[in-house]
Amino acid sequence: MKCIPIILIFLFVVSCNEMKTDTKIVENSSSAITIKTKNDSLIFSEERHFKSIRQVTFGGDNAEAYWSFDDKQLIFQSNYKGWGLECDQMFLMNADEIFNDSKPLMISTGKGRTTCAYFLPDNKHIKYASKHLVDEKCPEVPLRKNGKYVWPVYDSFDIFVADLEGNITAQLTDEPGYDAEATVSPKGDKIVFTSARSGDLELYTMNLDGSNVKQITNELGYDGGAFFSPDGTKLIFRSSRPKTEEEITEYKELLAKGLVQPTEMELYICNADGSDLRQLTHLGNANWSPVFLPSGEKILFSSNFEAERGFPFNLYMIDLNGKNLERVTHSETFDAFPVFSNDGKYLVFSSNRNNGGNHDTNLFIVEWQD
């Protein structure tokens, strides 16, 4: 979504191509470290912005990794059955770790479903959405409605703060309806999140303690996955905004059932207070998981607009004026959830590359070059 149940990634990808890699293994006291050679096939020849690459997870479904403010750690979500999981939970790792056979520290409660974790500026706490207060079991994940692909937006999601040992220290939202997809401004003063408290899925901001809630968007449709610009003055997000009478009716009917249909999404940009809102992309299909580049002058996002059958998804860059669209990754499967380190040197993203031909989604960290 950012923030989608990882099982839904499967519907994005129908088949995967097996890739060969040249690697060597170095053992240390904790886990096997995979060192990629210069001619590593994990970087396709056209991927000129990737100087080097490191695969972080090996197996299961792992996504939505976010950096601590000091870039020393990452928080991510996984539903990897090899770690004893039935649905998405949150895991903490050091930025230089690799998890081949080992399991990272689970930082969520292990109850219910969780989504959308993010570090707070003190690097000692994270926030994430969870439905454990209402249901400690993993909920069903509807994948299709009337033959169409859908995402669930659970009305029992609320946003919590936890320390790095997994102890919940605060609850930031308690309004009826969906509250999730929260990210923190690089300035360290505001959180932006998606909520259904108005009866529609809109963007809101609040202080780090949950106070001073302000509605940012106010137009029918699903506004979500928002990120602040590096200077905290702008927001980039994805939206599926119905236009025709038929689209509006379908959207409202699905939302009443706690569902959205994300097959047609475009990117929108606005000031952090919601002013100067405008549509950034007009590409068609699904354009989502946008983030600002460290310069603040471009957007990196995932899209399948070039795909004929819904896949592959690749990463693209575009200027803030909607010009100079550039394809960044050249996968035949799925690349999404890109997030830059705060120092701008590294990019973490999720991909189906190097998964042996199955549907595993793993985390990769690349050294970024312009």
Q: Which of 236, 133, 239 is nearest to 183 (CA)?
A: 236
Could you check whether the bond before residue 139 is cis, i.e. omega within 30 degrees of 0? Answer: no
Cis ω for the linkage preceding 190 (within 30 of 0): no
Which residues face 367 on adjacent strands?
A: 52, 346
Instruction: Say how far apart CA 231 and CA 233 lie, in whole Å.
Output: 6
* pTM across the whole model: 0.90
Domain boundaries, the chain: 6-368
> What confidence score (pLDDT) does residue 3 get?
61
Residue 2 confidence (pLDDT): 53
For residues 66 and 340, give the distance between their C-alpha atoms in angstroms, rounded to a whole number. Answer: 8
CATH no., domain 6-368: 2.120.10.30
pLDDT at 10: 42
pLDDT digits (tens, 9 = 90+) for 111-158: 999 999 999 999 999 999 999 999 999 988 777 777 778 999 999 999
Which residue ranges of the chain lie beneath pLDDT 50? 1, 6-39
Contact between residue 107 and residue 64 where contact means Cβ atoms under 8 Å apart: no
Q: What is the pLDDT of residues 215-254, one digit of tens each?
A: 999 999 999 999 999 999 999 999 999 999 999 999 999 9
